[in-house]
Amino acid sequence: MFDALYISATGMQAQQLNVDTIANNLANVNTTGFKKGKVGFSDLMVREAGRLQPSLEEAGILGAENRLGAGVGIASVSKLFDMGDLKKTESAWDLAIKGEGFLEVTMPDGSSAYTRGGTFKINKDGLLATAGGYPLKANVAVPDNAQSLQIDNDGRVRVEVAGQGTPVEVGQLDLVRFTSPSALTPQGDNLYRSSTGSGDAIAGKAAEDGMGSFAQGFLEGSNVKLNEEMVNLMVAQRVYEANVKVMQASDEMLGMINGLRK
């Protein structure tokens, strides 16, 4: 019964993290480029509870020893990078990626982070940057006298400059991908960092060799499905309640045992 208390406690703790993850998914159902999280569970170590009766051993039931699990643990909290719906905005500063791939950006400490696109702007240094001000690794410089911005599906960046009849190419945006993108580490602002699990970034050209392509004037919506998350929330709540019932039942049984001495 003491074991049941501890086992049910691990179940409650695991489901609390599950509910927190689902709540974050629901809160970001309208966040541009958001990728939903998913909690993976695993059973904890299995230990020997005691030997079975000789008659059961001879019958081959459950083997010579009875082994019990010790509860549930968190195996992983990962991101699912299923593509969200593209929403047309008609803004030249909005950029989405159709298919696989990430844009590489430079962080203030010189390290790299990765994004699936969003609304871009020109930062104080005249470079094309994310809404948070982080410049793209491609270092695309946009002239002050640029009148329009055009990004082709293969990543070529061109601007129209006053006094020139044809657009001027000012840079090239490339994409990177990862062996296991679900293991990327979220940083907020729709930015991710590579990890040991994700592997190193693999560079490639947009619209080639399985890489995605760019869609200017579009934003990628969240990949959270509201009905699916609501079902997951109800299931997590029921599992949590079941673990509470186990704890209550174990407590009542311990109370009965203590009452036998009176």
- For 183-241, what is each residue's pLDDT tens digit? 999 998 899 999 999 999 999 999 998 899 999 999 999 999 999 999 999 999 999 99
- Residue 209 pLDDT: 87
CA nearest to 53, candidates 62, 43, 44: 62
252 φ, ψ (degrees, to nearest 5): -65, -40
Measured CA to CA, the distance from residue 149 to residue 144 in angstroms comes to 12
Residue 260, judged by CB atoms within 10 A of its CB (0-12, 13-18, 19+), counts as exposed
- 164 or 88: which leads in pLDDT: 88
72-96 burial: b if 16+ Cβ within 10 Å, else e:
beeeeebbebebbebeebeeebbbb
* Placement of tokens 């719906």 in the chain: 85
Distant-in-sequence, close-in-space partners of 86: CB < 8 Å, separation ≥ 6: 96, 98, 215, 218, 219, 220, 221
- Residue 171 pLDDT: 94
Mean pLDDT of the chain: 89
209 φ, ψ (degrees, to nearest 5): 55, 45
Measured CA to CA, the distance from residue 135 to residue 128 in angstroms comes to 6
- 257 or 142: which leads in pLDDT: 142
pLDDT at 64 over 80: no
pTM (2 d.p.): 0.82
DSSP codes of every residue in 44-99 = --EEEEEEPPHHHHHHTSS-SEEEEE--EEEEEEEE--PPPPEEE---TTEEEEES
Token pair, residue 231, equals: 């079902």
232 φ, ψ (degrees, to nearest 5): -60, -35
Residue 185, judged by CB atoms within 10 A of its CB (0-12, 13-18, 19+), counts as middle
What pairing do the DSSP bridges indicate for beta strands 37-43 and 72-79? antiparallel
